[in-house]
Structure 1
Amino acid sequence: MNCGYSCIKERILNLNKIQFSFFTLVLLLVSACSDTSNKLTPVELQGRTMGTTYSVKFFATEQQIRTEQFYKDIEALLETVNQQMSTYRPDSEISRFNTSANDEPFIVSSDTAYVVQSAIDIGVQSEGALDITIGPLVNLWGFGPNGHVESAPTSEQIALAKGLIGIDKLLVKGRTLIKTQDQLYIDLSAIAKGFGVDKIAEYLEAKGINRYLAEIGGEMRAKGKKMDGSLWRVAIEKPTSAERAVQQVVDLQDKAIATSGDYRNYFEKEGKRYSHTIDPSNGKPITHKLASVTVIHDSTMMADGYATALNVMGPQKALEFAERQNLAVYLVVKSAEGFDVKYSSGFSSYIQ
């Protein structure tokens, strides 16, 4: 059958339609695959570290979940922090420094040197309220790796231990630590958990994860928002040992939060309660009315360290210090009726 010009033109148009339909189908398939690969999936990891628990919540693509070893990597980096800074490990960097000779330069990792120097800086700012050389007193009162004591130490024992502490007896030069006091003993428990959280955050962001909530023992750091567009909601616990209840809820974005209090870690002897928080100025557990301190900061490590320092100070000095340093601080103070709340001007935007 002969086909004229109009017939040939019709065939070309039909062929073009088929090609266009096929091209459109390919585009739709590619688009669908792209949407699936870029879809964010919630991930939650949990474990134990530093004598407590940790949890990490974040959102990742399916490709990231398939190719990355998030749990293994986080476990490894937390193991590294423990091996650097735990006084419960005899072979950790800090434990080996604690048993090193007086005036002997001791080289540590850059992370350990950074944490020690940061703690010294907070100690200087707080006029000694945070003192990472307080280890002899912590051990004396039974809150260190040696375990609980049968009775409260004597005034003579306290005076002897006080003579062994002081951040002025500790020097940091690059990655080198030097003690100028024999038996100087560093305890980083007031700041190491916060540093661990920051290391998790650093790792996640290096992997392109920008929506997460990382936590170790209640010290947290949040980045971005959840998938529904809401902020990460964090509860400040009511400082009672009898029950777990919420004192205050705050929304957190691109910030860290840490709380220090004596309502969980203490011991009682002969009807008297002894807090685990030791005041370096007198060598004894704190006795003021400040029940808990919460600090919001860019760095979890700094929030952790500041919270401990403020908890030592007591409510009035803590609030004055927070205003001078422009810190976002929330205080829960014991009262005859239960608890009173005080907070710095920097914290006011977090109150709901």
Structure 2
Amino acid sequence: MSDSWPLQAQDNTRRPTIRDVARDAGISKTSVSRYFGEERHRLSEAMQARIERSVERLGFRPDRIAASLRGGRTRLIGALVADIRNPYSVALIHAAERACGDAGYSLMVCNTDNDETLERRHLDVLDGYSVDGLIVNTVGRNTEALEAMRQRGIPMVLVDRQIEVLDCDMVGLDDEAAVADAIDHLVARGFERLELIIEPVAGISSRQARAEAFEAECRRRSLDATVYEAIIEEAAVEAADSAALDQRLTELLAEPRPTAVLCANGVVTLAVCHALQRLGGFDRLGVLGIDELAWCALAGPGISTLAQPVDAIGRRAIDTLLARIDGDATPAAIHRLPATLNVRGSTAPAA
């Protein structure tokens, strides 16, 4: 028989409590509460390590809802996204989740699938969990519900897309500068005919901003340019509206002058690349895409891109939201971050 005995046997059918952790670690309940609250910095590193070992040993998990009733915070952040399948959304959520973790918060992600009813249901769920704040990357079809949450003191930050009726901070790409950089590059490469291919712009501020910036900049430079709205289903890019997109690209490939397309986001870039692969047109049409995706260096001759700083956007959104949670009452602001140009073979100098 062993000479060592545990201090106290645990009842595995009962959920461990803060009292259990304190007893196991040989410290006060107050110290354990500080560890899980906003005063962790007041504990020594040795004390934190001691608590962490007891937490792991007992399998303790803090009750966020109970904590919110005591201290007013759950340390939960809600994230409402339009389509989690979109590569931009995936990268955004990854960055936001890491930023939340660094600050001692957890991120609850709700995917709306661009469905108004589902979006409202998710808002009710997030509200029910008493999230401390919310980041929103949707069209915002439930503006009344969002505004009601904001009026009740739930801070929110919009990402990529503005919702005019909400007086909230917004973090996203500097669309005007990105489009100007794209046009600078294409003109310098000798392309004389430009087309922006974009998903329908109605009701989505980032698409509207890119289309307006493209038209204004091309008009200012007296360039021959057009905007083409493509219907693209993100779940099936290869087949989505392929006949219409193939027809449009066939027309552009027939242009006698050096022609290039600017793809407004990664979804459009992928659809255009699939179409050019079918048509065999990579060597006759310049391609530049907004959004840097893992496959861009591998497709065709390598696709030139304007990479959005998605990691920085996600972190800035969370940092801004946490500042609001902590009481920042300055006027709502728009934070625009610059893109980075990655030059590859798809924008080789026009012959």
Task: State if a TM-score over 0.5 links the two structures.
Answer: no
- Greater fraction of residues in strand: 1
TM-score relative to the length of structure 2: 0.30
Higher RCO structure (Cα 8 Å, ≥6 apart):
2
Higher helix share: 2
